[in-house]
Each structure stands twice: as structure tokens, then as C-alpha cells.
Amino acid sequence: MLPFSRITIIGLGLIGSSIARAVRVHMPTARLTGYDADPDVRAIADRIDLCDDITDTAGASVIDADLVILCVPVGAMGAAAAEIAADLPADAIVSDVGSCKEAIAAALADALPNATIVPAHPVAGTEQSGPEAGFATLFHGRWCILTPTAQTSAAAVERVAEFWLKLGADVETMAPDHHDRVLAITSHLPHLIAYTIVGTASDLEEVTQSEVIKYSAGGFRDFTRIAASDPTMWRDVFLTNREAVLEMLQRFSEDLTALQRAIRWGKGDELFELFTRTRAIRRGIVEQGQDDAAPDFGRSHQ
């Protein structure tokens, strides 16, 4: 038995199109409907046969759905929910994939006061965007975090959990505000720092952009991957999870200042102590299968 049999995906970018592909693989009998606000994206989705049906309006896409997943940028969630409000079946469950759960839960509850809402966040992605960037195994071995509120029925949470398990993900549940703090440090701050250093490097006068590119294998290139992520998505994340991001950023800046001071005053022991401690975290990530065990992320060294 499938947890859902008529699934609608609104927003057919990297995540939405990966869900579509994974549903096709793991729930081949489910009917799959897609919608995207951008007609060009709808045309591509049609051409690559991403769903059984691509509709021309958001409302039409949900008419007989039992699960609707909103895969639009965080700042567009409320408007997307409002667009489907009139056509949403009473027994449908609405979920999403956004990276800021407290604000999204509030926006969805506002737009769909009578709907059953199970906010979700699959912690997975690549630096690529658009309907053609998705792939069916994106969620394999990754965590999907559900952030139900006191109003969410346990049965609805259970069905959404089952959906993600079928796509190959592991499922965890936590409070929306805790999610937002966890993701501020594990995802939002890393992106912010990566965007910053790539910006800093491209603004130098005495080191040319061509030199930055040429010698990027010394470490810089690791940062450029996530700094190539979708600009709209990330603008929305920072504006929406503002408080948690600013707090993590403040802690990071303090730690960076301490390190700066250690370098200025030649305190090698302090540097060595930190540089030793940080190895353990990497080890944990590899041991728990959250990153490639092969050196250099498994990049091919031909």
C-alpha cells in the first residue's frame, strides 16, 4: 500500500523534479501531477515527461490530490498555498520542502486555515537548479526533517514520514524553531560564508580573477560549489531565518576573531589545538554515511 496515490508537486526545480523522479521509481502506480509558475519550466517538464500531467494553473494541479508538496522558494510558499486554497480537496495533506520551518508553517496555516499541513525539509541538494538537474536518488541516505505542530494529526505525520522513507530518506521529527537553529549552522551559515569568500576573492585588485580560478585547487574551489546555488532560494532563506542566521554568524565572527588574534600573536598551540579537534567531526560525518569516505570528496583524479 502506498501512503499517497495522487501526488501533486508545485515548483519543478531541483528538489521538486527529484521528488517526481523518485516517485516514479519508488511509487510507480501513484498518479503524478506537476505545476510551476514559470511557463518555460512547465514546457521543459512536459518535454522530459517528468509527471503524468503538467497543469497550466496551480489550482488545476491539486483538484484530486491526496498529497500536495510545495517546492518553491521559501519566500513564495505563502503565495503558492494561497493559489491552491480554493481547489484543495478537504482530505489532502499539504507539505513542503523549505529550509525555514517556523515561518513556512505560519504562512501555510494562514493561507490554508482548514488544511492538514505537515511541514518537511529533506536535507539534500546539489549546486544545480531547474527541472533537468533533479535525479531520483537525491534523497537516498539523507535526512528528511518533519516539523509538525501540536495541531498536526499523528496519522498525517505518519503518512508523510512513510512517503519519505519510500524515497530512500531517513526521517526525523523536531520542533520548527529547533529545526531553524540546526539548519542555521549546518546549512545557512555555510552558504553565507561560501558566498562571502567567493565575493571577496573576486573583488581583489592585486590578485586577478583568473589567478583565483587557476589556483582554486588549494581549497577555494570547495567553497565555490555551494556559492553556485540558486540565488532566489538563498536570498529567501537568509531573509526568512534571519534571527537564527545572525546569531550563528555572530558566534562564527567571534571565533574567527579569536583565530585572527592567535595568528597575529603567533600562538601556534591555539591553532594546533583547534585544527586537531576539527578532524573528529569530519570522521563522524564520513562514519555516518553523510559524506564520501574517499579523499577529496571522491573527485576523480584521472
Name the pairing type of β-strands 116-118 and 120-122: unpaired
Is 124 a binding residue for a second copy by CB under 8 A? The answer is: yes
Q: Which of 81, 107, 171, 201 binds a second copy (CB under 8 A)?
A: 201
SS3 293: coil
* Subset of 1-40 contacting a second copy (CB under 8 A): none
* Subset of 203-232 contacting a second copy (CB under 8 A): 203-204, 206-207, 209-229, 231-232
CA distance 256 to 185: 15
Q: What is the DSSP letter of 295?
A: G
Is 76 a binding residue for a second copy by CB under 8 A? The answer is: no
CA distance 196 to 110: 34
Complex with a second copy: residue 9 or 14, whichever CB lies closer: 14
**CB 180 to a second copy: min, Å:** 11
Q: Which of 6, 119, 9 is nearest to 66 (CA)?
A: 6
Q: Which of 25, 43, 175, 239 binds a second copy (CB under 8 A)?
A: 239
From the list 55-63, 78-86, 106-114, 272-280, the region that binds a second copy by CB under 8 A is 272-280
* Subset of 127-156 contacting a second copy (CB under 8 A): 127-128, 133, 135, 137-138, 140-143, 145
CA distance 218 to 222: 9
Write the CB contacts of 77 (distance below 8 Å, at least 6 apart in sequence).
70, 96, 98, 104, 107, 108
Number of residues that bind a second copy (CB under 8 A): 113
From the list 4-12, 55-63, 101-109, 120-128, the region that binds a second copy by CB under 8 A is 120-128
Question: How far is residue 56 from each of residues 59, 127, 203, 207, measured CA to CA in Å?
Answer: 9, 28, 43, 49
> Would you list the DSSP string of 121-171?
EE----S--STTT--TTTTTT-EEEE---TTS-HHHHHHHHHHHHHTT-EE
Complex with a second copy: residue 43 or 239, whichever CB lies closer: 239
Q: Which of 193, 177, 136 is nearest to 22 (CA)?
A: 136
* Subset of 163-192 contacting a second copy (CB under 8 A): 172, 178, 181-183, 185-192
**CB 63 to a second copy: min, Å:** 34
Is 43 a binding residue for a second copy by CB under 8 A? The answer is: no
**CB 184 to a second copy: min, Å:** 8
**CB 11 to a second copy: min, Å:** 18
Complex with a second copy: residue 57 or 207, whichever CB lies closer: 207
SS3 291: coil
Is 199 a binding residue for a second copy by CB under 8 A? The answer is: yes
